[in-house]
């Protein structure tokens, strides 16, 4: 499969596959965020997810895929530092704000900086039409955040803090999107990067939460790690899809298309987390989807 992936890089077929992977990542990333925001503490949920996906990835990293080239160890070290910062900020965000309020801010900040980062790092450039589409998408995302800030009454006392952490988390989303795209392109076999990334990335949160994990009762640990196992598989396909999309095609376009996850997040918040979604929110979500379509059509 690795050879097949390499033959698609930079081709029309690769572009189509990258589009499908970015949209798949959008759906799954919204689900991943909801799993972390659900009934368990966000810090503990993330620790359980990370333990599960590290254990699942370990045998593939150690015994299945080719070992990383020497230059990859420095790249992995940088990725771990960036993702540690992202996880910390994300947990601080979700522990302080309603999911449908903070998630649009996180996802709205990310694509703008990711597009700018791709311009500097990879020499990518959006057309005028694509910038228009990005503006439409961002207006929908930040409009949704502003709407929620005004009308949502959940966790109002910590909402300002939550929004500050959400903006910082979005900046780290852009940073890891660009950096991980560089990392997956820097190795011959993309599955080497994916397997080793998930194995190494699983250490930070369990170390941070080690005391809380050791103190879990069996009654609490069972549901928590069932959620962690589900989250691990969602993470494999979510993060794996967007990373593969950035190897196959333009980083900026993939980053923008993934942010249609805001639409799916609102639906999950409404259907699963029982957070109310109004007609105004639905209209703004339609604006987000329209912006993503414009970016793709004008590319």
Asked if residue 25 lies in contact with residue 239, where contact means CB atoms within 8 angstroms, the answer is: yes
More confident residue, 166 or 117: 166
Q: State which H helix or E strand residue 111 sits in.
A: helix 99-122
Asked if residue 229 lies in contact with residue 54, where contact means CB atoms within 8 angstroms, the answer is: no
Residues 258, 262, 264, 265, CA torsion sign: positive
What tens digit of pLDDT does each residue of 142-179 get? 787 777 777 765 556 777 788 889 889 988 988 998 89
DSSP 215: T
Residue 170 C-alpha from the chain's centroid: 10
Q: Is the pLDDT of residue 82 over 80?
A: yes
Model pLDDT, residue 66: 95
d(CA 8, CA 247): 10
Asked if residue 289 lies in contact with residue 263, where contact means CB atoms within 8 angstroms, the answer is: yes
Model pLDDT, residue 155: 59
* Mean of pLDDT over the chain: 84
- Which tokens hold the place of 297? 């059509």
pLDDT bucket at 97, cuts 50 / 70 / 90: confident
What tens digit of pLDDT does each residue of 37-63 get? 656 677 888 899 999 999 999 999 999
d(CA 125, CA 224): 43
Asked if residue 197 lies in contact with residue 84, where contact means CB atoms within 8 angstroms, the answer is: no
Question: Could you tell me the CA-to-CA distances from 149 to 93, 159, 164 in Å, in that order?
Answer: 14, 8, 12
Model pLDDT, residue 200: 96
Ranking 87-96, 137-146, 243-252 by mean pLDDT, the lowest is 137-146
What tens digit of pLDDT does each residue of 190-227 get? 999 999 999 999 999 999 999 999 998 888 899 999 98
Mean pLDDT within 82-108: 82
Q: Is the pLDDT of residue 288 over 80?
A: no
d(CA 20, CA 51): 28
Mean pLDDT within 78-84: 95
What tens digit of pLDDT does each residue of 19-41 get? 889 888 888 877 776 666 656 67
Nearest CA to 242 out of 233, 232, 252 is that of: 252
d(CA 92, CA 90): 5
């Amino acid at each position: 499969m690795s050879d097949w992936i390499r033959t698609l890089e930079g081709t029309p077929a690769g572009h189509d596959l990258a589009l499908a992977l970015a949209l798949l990542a959008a759906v799954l990333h919204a689900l991943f965020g909801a799993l972390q925001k659900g009934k368990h503490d966000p810090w503990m949920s993330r620790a359980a997810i990370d333990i599960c996906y590290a254990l699942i990835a370990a045998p593939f990293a150690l015994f299945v895929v080719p070992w990383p080239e020497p230059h990859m160890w420095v790249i992995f070290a940088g990725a771990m530092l960036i993702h540690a910062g992202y996880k910390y900020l994300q947990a601080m965000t979700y522990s302080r704000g309603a999911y449908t309020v903070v998630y649009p801010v996180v996802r709205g900040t990310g694509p703008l900086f990711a597009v700018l980062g791709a311009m500097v790092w990879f020499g990518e450039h959006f057309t005028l039409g694509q910038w228009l589409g990005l503006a439409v998408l961002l207006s929908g995302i930040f409009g949704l955040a502003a709407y929620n800030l005004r009308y949502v009454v959940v966790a109002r006392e910590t909402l300002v803090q939550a929004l500050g952490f959400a903006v910082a988390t979005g900046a780290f989303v852009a940073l890891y999107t660009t950096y991980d795209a560089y990392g997956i392109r820097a190795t011959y076999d993309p599955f080497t990067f994916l397997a080793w990334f998930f194995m190494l990335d699983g250490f930070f949160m369990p170390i941070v939460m080690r005391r809380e994990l050791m103190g879990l009762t069996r009654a609490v640990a069972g549901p928590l790690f069932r959620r962690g196992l589900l989250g691990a598989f969602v993470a494999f396909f979510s993060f794996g899809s967007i990373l593969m999309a950035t190897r196959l095609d333009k980083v900026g376009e993939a980053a923008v298309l993934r942010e249609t996850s805001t639409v799916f997040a609102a639906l999950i918040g409404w259907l699963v987390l029982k957070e109310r979604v109004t007609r105004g929110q639905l209209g703004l979500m339609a604006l987000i989807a329209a912006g993503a379509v414009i970016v793709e059509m004008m590319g």
